[in-house]
Chains A and B, each alone.
Chain A
Amino acid sequence: MNMKTAILITMTLCCSQFLLAQNDFKKGLNEARASYASNKLDDSRFAMQQMLYELDMITGKEVLKLLPQKMLDGSIVAKADNVSGASGFVGVIIHREWGKDGSPDKNISMDIISNSPLIASLNALLSLPFIGNTGDNKVVRIAGYKALVSKIDAGGTTNYDLQLPLNSSLITLKAPGLSQDQVIKLANTLPVPEIAKMLQ
């Protein structure tokens, strides 16, 4: 199977999933309307919850489309693409990796948690410069947004993770083996304003 065929299959799968999600949204909408009209309020509410779930999934897949095709030399690991979770609690998690298939520990990876109540604590950390800019942490700006670069010691090697909060969402970029400056440079290639617009 050549590269072209693989891309075609991936695109077909994405499109069919997208269409299915769209159908689910419309099905939920019809159910919500019908239940509400017949005064079955709880059924209507349940249908709306399903609609929210579908919207979260569609938004997640749209965000994946915005991300770059390559990071340094690594291409997208299509198998690792994932959108999961539930908004309102832990949040919807959008995951992507760049690098080689089967080596997630070495790949550059990005996780976006949207609609999560856990993000508030990180926002507080960023707003206090004395805490943010201490020791292993550094506050930087990526596309005009404040972000925190943290030093992580992982089994004798030092890695740097970058976390960028956007209202109730959080972008985390991990790039094993790269220096602090390289991670910041890499983060600057991300379409942060577009992602923010999609998740707002």
Chain B
Amino acid sequence: MRHFKSLLFLACCIPFYSAQAQLMKKLKEKANAAAERVMDKKIDEKAAEVTGVSNSGGGSNSSSSTSVGGRNKAGNKGGAGLVSTPPDVKENLTNAEAAFSGAKYSEARYAVQQAMLGVELQIGQNILKSLPQAIGELQYNVAADQVTSTGWGWAGLTIYREYEKGDKQLRFSVANNAVWMQAINLYFNNGGYAQSTGGKQNWKQTKIKGLRAVIEYSEGSGYKLSAPLGQTSLLIYEGVNFANEQDFMKAAEQINVDNIKKQLGEN
């Protein structure tokens, strides 16, 4: 009977020890993996110091190849990238005409959309050219210039320019021909923004170059001025680290709104 009890005790203990051993093994593996990650991070940081190329992904991927699921994928070392050419308007109109004559309406539609995209990108570039090179001490950031268009539809045409010096920045964007713009202009023009006199005023109605506008202030993002232009355009000025409202408005006044209006065909 005593032997039987001992055997029973042993039988109960074996799984416990086995489980404990497995747990210890797992803990050891986890510790090893963590140590490896720390080592890899240190190596990456050291390599970044020497080469000037950072591997911020946090993993142990090298710059030339990666190992995913046991397969080696070659990393891209460079290339000419994509050629960013706006669609040829005349060519696309000719294509649209040909497709329409052949009753290929879907193709005709695509060609007209492409032609429209080409025209919109040209309008955007013309507006960017008309903007000042500098506003006061702020210089324009050539790399940040952007014209985006979807041809025709919900998003429409957007034009973006940045002026900066140190941490002071003026961002200017124009949104045009977007379907949602009609609704927002209706909202602005009908006093959708109610104004209060009590409490801390973070926004108010104002004017910029004769246009009705709304100016807002936020501790986190600075000043923002929104001015609807005509039926389907909106001008947005964003100022970061401007001393006060007057300073920001003075900078915003430097932009020639009349020319933008003319380019966009707004009244």
Contacts and interface: CB of A to CB of B under 8 A. Distances in A.
A43 B152 CA distance: 14
Interface stretch (A6-14, A46-54, A143-151, A185-193): A46-54
A87 B153 CA distance: 7
B264 to A, nearest CB: 6
**Range of interface residues on chain B?**
20 to 34
**Chain A interface mostly:** helix
B112 interface: yes
Interface stretch (B14-22, B119-127, B200-208, B213-221): B119-127
Interface stretch (B26-34, B55-63, B89-97): B89-97
Given A45-B123, A48-B116, A88-B154, A200 B106 contact: yes
A9 B263 CA distance: 47
A36 B152 contact: no
A199 interface: yes
B116 A41 contact: no
Interface in B102-145: 105-106, 108-109, 112-113, 115-116, 119-120, 122-123, 126
A42 B265 CA distance: 6
A55 B154 contact: no
Interface string A108-134: 000000000100000000000000000
Given A42-B264, A48-B119, A199 B106 contact: yes
Interface in A151-200: 197-200
B43 to A, nearest CB: 43
B242 interface: no
B35 interface: no
A11 B178 CA distance: 37
B89 A36 contact: yes
Interface in B236-253: none
A62 interface: yes
B113 A52 contact: yes
A49 B115 contact: no
Contact of A25 (B100, B122, B123, B264): B100
A73 B25 CA distance: 75
A49 B120 CA distance: 12
A29 B97 contact: yes
Contacts of B119: 36, 41, 44-45, 48
Contacts of A198: 105-106
B105 A62 contact: yes
B179 interface: yes
A55 B105 contact: yes
A59 interface: yes
A55 B108 contact: yes
A199 to B, nearest CB: 7
Contacts of B109: 52, 55-56, 59
A194 to B, nearest CB: 12
B258 to A, nearest CB: 14
Contacts of A58: 105
Contacts of A55: 100, 105, 108-109, 112
A59 B115 CA distance: 19
A51 to B, nearest CB: 5
14 contacts: A32-B93, A36-B119, A41-B126, A44-B89, A44-B119, A45-B120, A49-B152, A52-B109, A52-B112, A55-B112, A56-B109, A87-B153, A89-B153, A198-B106
> Can you list the 8 inter-chain pairs with the closest CB atoms, starting with the nearest?
A42-B265, A88-B153, A48-B116, A89-B179, A59-B105, A55-B109, A45-B119, A41-B123
Interface of A: 22, 25, 29, 32-33, 36, 41-46, 48-49, 51-52, 55-56, 58-59, 62, 87-89, 117, 197-200
Given A45-B120, A62-B105, 6 more contacts: A33-B93, A36-B89, A45-B177, A48-B112, A59-B106, A117-B153
